Amino acid sequence: MAAVIGLWMTLSGTGVATAADFTLETATIADIHAAYKSGALTARKLVQLCLARIEAYDDNGPRINALIMVNPDVMEEADACDDDLKRGVIRGPLHGIPVILKDNHDTEDMPTTGGSVFLEGSIPPDNAFIVDHLIEAGAIILAKSNLSEFASSAQTNGFSSLGGQTLNPHDLERGPSGSSGGSGAAVAAWYAPLALGTDTGGSIRNPCAANGLAGIKPTRGLWSRDGIIPLGLSFDTSGPMGRNIFDVAVCLGAAVGMDTADPETARSAGKFMKDYTLTLSTNALKGARLGVFVDYAGADAGVRSVFDESCRRLESLGATLVEIELPEFILSRRSIRNIMRPGEFKAHVAQYLSTLGEGYPKTLMDLIEASENFEPGPGRLANPSRWAQFRTEQAGYDLDDPVYLSAAEHGPKLITGHLEALLFNHNLDAFIYPTNPVPAQRLDRDYSQPRPSSATSIANITGFPDVIVPAGTTPEKLPVTLSFLGAAFSEARLLAMAYAFEQSFPSRVAPASTPALPGESFSW
């Protein structure tokens, strides 16, 4: 359904509900709302359809293993949404929409574990700020998803000690990427229209690429990070993952807002929208100028082919492409993160752990000691590569160390300033690149061998937003996505351009391992 119809028109009665076909596998939020309004669908029925897919494909069948737990109160939440709708009460733009949370987002009524056996059963004191916002907007919290433990892949591919291994529904011998791999696999398998991920170096965008999804890593400060287990707050943000740009835009606007618990959100004052669907347009690429990151055009032949075709498609829609070669200090930016992130995790995770109840670790050193004394059992798996990384993080620079302070003060500013200068000097709307230079990786790959470098961490170091949209598949039918990277708080423009590309060249493919179930399509 076109974005110009608007969410409020669909549910409030100002739009016209006409006869239509509904297919769960392709339904947007607007389609779901239209079906609600017609009476052909209820939130209870939608949740039942989602739970049926979870039972068929996560618990049984291919056993994707994307989820850590399903919300035990989800049917009650669905019924409450239906009751409100019967009374003419519309909670917000996500009314009755099931959403999955990566299990590092705090929920006051369900455990939040970061995928770690050491936080098993830990119930935080309250919801994360953005979780409260989504609930206020009408979202139904369906489940918590698996993730790379403590949001760091550490030579694993969607694995955690509590959740185990998540599989990629497009190829069960490949991983979902990380660290938001459970969220990516869950949305690709259509357990829910939306999921939240977190991103410190590409952890929303890489799973979107591996699973063939739309998504966004927002500007740092657009969404609050309060109540999210941190990895490194100089780089962290949460963000939505979905199967189309429209849904991602709806979710993005539903959770914006300044939060005194996260001072970074003060940067967003006067710069956010409550409804990013208002600027979506199929003509958004006409006259656009896009800088092509030639250094990241795709290390895999299949990815490169899709990216080259995407560039031709962008030009056919009216965009002008400008080749951009990045200087060495940006190409070697990993050194900045390597100085900053280990020490930040040591400090920031201790701040988070201090809010948890008795019996849980309170410092990174406590986590190290717990890992050294760990005894595996059912549902409790060792995660040696991530736990070994604890030691590296413990040895990281303290946040008052001159080396850390110098890197934090000068490194991000140098890279941000250069990217801003490129945007200005070339009169660019955004940069583009293939989100991941290689497709989803096999679970049995040799992790000691380095992977080709991706451009994703540029967005984390600068705090810039990055929008991801499906662009095609490799000859092996593995998804490839296109990224639009722009200046801080340019989400509306990036989403509009990605939407124009998506609507003209729809490229999302359904995973073969999770086909439609009976009752998922109907007409009214």
Domains annotated on the chain, with CATH: 27-515 (3.90.1300.10)
Which pLDDT belongs to residue 12? 46
Q: Tell me the β-bridge partners of 485.
A: 431, 466
Closest by alpha carbon to 12, among 86, 95, 88, 97?
A: 88
**Distance set, CA 219 to CA 199, 223, 340, 463, 467 (Å):** 11, 8, 19, 5, 10
Which pLDDT belongs to residue 379? 83
Per-residue pLDDT tens digits for 440-457: 999 998 877 888 899 999
Distance of alpha carbon 121 from alpha carbon 492, whole angstroms: 39
Known active-site residue 102? yes
| DSSP three-state, residue 284 | coil
Residue 11 has pLDDT above 70, yes or no: no
Which pLDDT belongs to residue 298? 81
Closest by alpha carbon to 156, among 185, 176, 173?
A: 176
| 322 sits in which H/E element | strand 320-324
* Average pLDDT in the chain: 95
Range with the lowest mean pLDDT among 14-28, 114-128, 327-341? 14-28
In residues, how long is the chain?
A: 524
Which pLDDT belongs to residue 9? 45
Which pLDDT belongs to residue 23? 97
- pTM for the model: 0.96
CA dihedral 206, 207, 212, 213 (to 10 degrees): -100
Contact 500, 455 (CB under 8 A): no
More confident residue, 156 or 28: 28
Mean pLDDT value across residues 491-504 = 98
Residue 15 has pLDDT above 50, yes or no: no
Instruction: Say which amino acid occupies 200.
Output: T
Residue 332 has pLDDT above 90, yes or no: yes
Per-residue pLDDT tens digits for 260-303: 999 999 999 999 999 999 999 999 999 999 999 999 998 999 99
Which pLDDT belongs to residue 266? 98
The position carrying tokens 């409100």 is 84
The catalytic residue among 148, 153, 161, 179 is 179
Kindly state the percentage of the chain with pLDDT values over 70: 96
Contact 134, 255 (CB under 8 A): yes
Distance of alpha carbon 84 from alpha carbon 121, whole angstroms: 32
Residue 49 has pLDDT above 80, yes or no: yes
Q: Name the band, by pLDDT with cuts 50, 70 and 90, for residue 82.
A: very high
Per-residue pLDDT tens digits for 182-234: 999 999 999 999 999 999 999 999 999 999 999 999 999 999 999 999 999 99
Give the burial string for 392-425 (b: 16+ CB within 10 Å, else e). Answer: ebbebbeeeeeebeebbeebbebbbeebeebbee
The catalytic residue among 102, 144, 217, 346 is 102
Mean pLDDT value across residues 496-507 = 98
Mean pLDDT value across residues 161-184 = 98
Distance of alpha carbon 365 from alpha carbon 345, whole angstroms: 12
Q: Cβ atoms within 10 A of the Cβ of 114, count?
A: 28
Mean pLDDT value across residues 467-481 = 98
The position carrying tokens 């969404």 is 223
Contact 438, 455 (CB under 8 A): no
Q: How does DSSP assign 3-50, residue by residue?
A: GGG-HHHHHHSSS-----EEETTT--HHHHHHHHHHTS--HHHHHHHH
Which pLDDT belongs to residue 447? 79
Distance of alpha carbon 47 from alpha carbon 397, whole angstroms: 46
Q: How far is CA 166 from the centre of its chain?
A: 16
Q: Tell me the β-bridge partners of 242.
A: 194, 214
Mean pLDDT value across residues 427-442 = 97
Distance of alpha carbon 79 from alpha carbon 91, whole angstroms: 13
Instruction: Say which amino acid occupies 208.
Output: C
In angstroms and rounded to an integer, the radius of gyration of the C-alpha atoms of the chain is 21
For 345-364, what is the HEC assignment?
A: HHHHHHHHHCCCCCCCCCCH
Known active-site residue 86? no
Residue 5 has pLDDT above 60, yes or no: no
| DSSP three-state, residue 280 | coil
Which pLDDT belongs to residue 449? 81
Kindly state the percentage of the chain with pLDDT values over 90: 92
The catalytic residue among 122, 161, 203, 224 is 203
Known active-site residue 238? no
